[in-house]
Chains A and B, each alone.
Chain A
Amino acid sequence: MTQQNNTLAEIRPRFVVDTPPFMHRGCTVGGMMRDMLIALAPAAAAAIWHYGLPAVRVMALAAGVCVLTQALWEKLLGRSSRVFDGSALVTGLLLAFLLPAGAPWWLVATGAALTMLLGRELFGGLGCNPLCPPLVGWAALTVSWPVHMDPTAMNLGSSLIDPLIRMKYFGWTALPEGSELALALGGQLGGLGSTQVAALLLGGLFLLARKVVRWEIPAAFLAGVLALGSLFWLFGETMGVNPANCPPPHLYLLTGSTLFAAFFLATDHASSPVAIAGMFGYGLLAGCMTVLIRIFGIYPDGAPFAVLLAALTAPLLDLIRPQPFGGKRSQ
């Protein structure tokens, strides 16, 4: 056996035929996660400005438990540790952004552990997850403990309002007059970071500029929200929908986690389609579902569920792929 290996090594050709990539641009997972952290920083700062120390507590706990879970899991399986690439830290922060600032510690810790295990590690770790990991943790928490996930119930001392609840039960005209600016600056109850609209827009544009995420998915998502939102706003009454439930389209963007979902959740690299046509379909589906769930669903904020649903269609959308150069379309 050894002898054979030696012979093979001796006759190895000088020019090796290998698979691409042949050159490396120097991008690493760690670098990408650093960009993600920078993009999340404005929203984190805004969250601390609005909610104070409780927000810091939730973010630190979620990120810490995520990192710890990944480290323990890799230790248990005897895999080489990839904790230091920062992906667990970013995942934990994304989950924390979806939680109310007053969430009890066990809720945050359970959610973070579920996010890492159920959302990512059971499927093979970073890059193998079929759904966006923070959304898996968020969905499990929302279904299991709806009271502890309710931003109003968890921030009783706050003077802010939850615009989504108000729009759902009292109609969009019940929102205070001229509250758009306050909403954009994050003056609303909801997930602690996911409602910091202006700060998230800043972070999202940074991600686009650094090409960490492709522009197709957020653009299609927002186009879907605005298109279907306008449709219901203009023609909702003729279609038999209560006009109080059909707010003007810009309110969809300013309330809840729409922008957060568009820039940070829907663009999760592993669970979104890879081809351009698929990206547009995926974004449009998620955007339209957001509007539909907000108008007709039982959950006030439709965006996270919309992204989860769209991610389930991603393997199908990936079948729409470009023709290989010079190749023929197979029948």
Chain B
Amino acid sequence: MASMWKEFSKGLWAEIPPFRVVLGLCPTLAVTKNAENGLGMGLAVIFVLVLSNALISLVRKLIPKKVRIVCFIAIAATLVVAIELLMQAYTYPLYQQLGIFVPLIVVNCIILGRAEAFAAKNPVHLAIADGLGMGLGFTLSLTFLGALRELLGTGALFGRSVMWEGFKPFTIMVEAPGAFIALGGLLALMNCISIVSARRAGKEVPVNAGGGCGLGCCGTNQ
């Protein structure tokens, strides 16, 4: 039980996608125009991730090593088609909003990443806990990002207006550049928090936790 809790809880903060692992950025940037879309996308990913982790873990000893990626993708694709049909049947407006990004869950790096890194090596109960934790972390992140962008960009939360009268919405936040600004800001904030908490705990401070500055101005690639 303790090990299940450990695998579950690591997805909520220590390795929360997409901020810590920086995977699955395509849906993160594209569908977080509002909190509702983020939540819907996250729930779809939970469904696929938990079931694909469970199935892959079940058949992990039957899959030949050479063709494992194909098998993982086949399982994920089956589940994605299932969730796509379910969404068409029960949440059609949300399905229309998310558009191409529902079928694209197949190639979401988090699904394949968890399958390869965790489910293929661990028993079923741990794989389910891992999938649930990672999926929940992804949902929380997407909902938070969507809520932030919706709040600043339209002055509403889950479609309800919450800002004061005369608030002029900061429209760029719901446009494409706003996704990058919000994601970059949140990544910087997460790194800042981990640096401060590492310093508090007296541990070594991680330098450049999120990689280089990306501009080639740090003198490493001259």
A144 touches B188 (CB 8 A): no
B217 touches A143 (CB 8 A): no
B181 touches A145 (CB 8 A): no
Of A130, A143, A145, which contacts B168 at CB under 8 A? A145
**Cα distance A123–B217 in the bound complex, in angstroms:** 11
Q: Which residues of A contact B169 (CB under 8 A)?
A: 144
Kindly state whether residue A122 has any CB partner on chain B within 8 Å.
yes
B215 touches A118 (CB 8 A): no
Interface string of A116-132 (1 = CB under 8 A from B): 00100011100010100
Known: A130-B215, A315-B215. A122 touches B188 (CB 8 A): yes
Kindly state whether residue A140 has any CB partner on chain B within 8 Å.
yes
Q: Name the residue on B nearest A77 (C-beta).
A: B192
Known: A128-B217, A130-B215, A315-B216. A145 touches B188 (CB 8 A): no
Kindly state whether residue A106 has any CB partner on chain B within 8 Å.
yes
A145 touches B215 (CB 8 A): no
Interface string of A22-52 (1 = CB under 8 A from B): 0000000000000000000000000000000
B215 touches A143 (CB 8 A): no
Among B159-183, those with CB < 8 Å from A are: 168-173, 175, 177, 181
A143 touches B188 (CB 8 A): no
B188 touches A140 (CB 8 A): no
Among A301-331, those with CB < 8 Å from B are: 315
B171 touches A143 (CB 8 A): yes
A144 touches B217 (CB 8 A): no
Q: Name the residue on A nearest B177 (C-beta).
A: A143
B181 touches A143 (CB 8 A): no
Q: Name the residue on A nearest B176 (C-beta).
A: A143
A144 touches B172 (CB 8 A): yes
B175 touches A106 (CB 8 A): no
Q: Which residues of B contact A130 (CB under 8 A)?
A: 215
B216 touches A143 (CB 8 A): no
Known: A118-B181, A122-B188. A145 touches B171 (CB 8 A): yes
Return A318 CB to nearest CB of chain B, in Å: 9
Give the one of A124, A143, A148 with max B CB within 10 A: A143
Interface string of B101-126 (1 = CB under 8 A from A): 00000000000000000000000000
Q: Name the residue on B nearest A319 (C-beta).
A: B216
Return B173 CB to nearest CB of chain A, in Å: 8
**Cα distance A128–B214 in the bound complex, in angstroms:** 12
Return B154 CB to nearest CB of chain A, in Å: 11
Among A86-137, those with CB < 8 Å from B are: 106, 110, 118, 122-124, 128, 130
Q: Which residues of B contact A122 (CB under 8 A)?
A: 184-185, 188
Q: Name the residue on B nearest A314 (C-beta).
A: B215
**Cα distance A110–B167 in the bound complex, in angstroms:** 13
Q: Name the residue on B nearest A142 (C-beta).
A: B172
Q: Which residues of A contact B171 (CB under 8 A)?
A: 143-145
Return A312 CB to nearest CB of chain B, in Å: 11
**Cα distance A279–B177 in the bound complex, in angstroms:** 27
**Cα distance A145–B173 in the bound complex, in angstroms:** 12
**Cα distance A144–B154 in the bound complex, in angstroms:** 10
**Cα distance A106–B170 in the bound complex, in angstroms:** 12
Q: Which residues of A contact B172 (CB under 8 A)?
A: 140, 143-144
**Cα distance A124–B185 in the bound complex, in angstroms:** 14
Q: Which residues of B contact A140 (CB under 8 A)?
A: 172, 177
Of B170, B185, B213, which contacts A144 at CB under 8 A? B170
Extra A-B contacts (13), CB below 8 Å, given A148-B168, A315-B215: A110-B170, A122-B184, A122-B185, A122-B188, A123-B213, A124-B213, A128-B217, A140-B177, A143-B172, A143-B177, A144-B169, A144-B172, A315-B216
- A: residues with CB less than 8 A from B are 106, 110, 118, 122-124, 128, 130, 140, 143-145, 148, 315
Can you offer 23 A-B residue contacts whose CB atoms are under 8 A? Answer: A106-B168, A110-B170, A122-B184, A122-B185, A122-B188, A123-B213, A123-B215, A130-B215, A140-B172, A140-B177, A143-B171, A143-B172, A143-B175, A143-B177, A144-B169, A144-B170, A144-B171, A144-B173, A145-B168, A145-B171, A148-B168, A315-B215, A315-B216
- B: residues with CB less than 8 A from A are 168-173, 175, 177, 181, 184-185, 188, 213, 215-217
